[in-house]
Amino acid sequence: MVKDRIKLAKFHQKLIKKENISHKKALLIYEMLHKEAISLGVINSKNVLDGIEVTLKIAKALKGLT
């Protein structure tokens, strides 16, 4: 739960300036992480959205508790 949105936004801005990677490099990193997740069996590229309904229901329930 975010308590100070302004502080979080400043943190994100500072992080973006500090890391400053190109879109091409960011996409390459994403693709490598995706391939690793598939090779480890954490996700299945054919069924990425399987089970999302349950995840959404849990998130809605948890949000209602805050």
Q: In this structure, which amino acid lies at residue 38?
A: I
- In this prediction, residue 45 carries a pLDDT of 64
The whole-model pTM stands at: 0.46
pLDDT, average across residues 34-40: 88
Domain ranges of the chain: 5-65
Calpha distance 56→54 (Å, rounded): 5
* Mean pLDDT of the 34-61 span: 83
pLDDT digits (tens, 9 = 90+) for 17-31: 888 888 899 899 999
Indicate the SS3 state at residue 55: helix
CB 25 within 8 A of CB 31: no
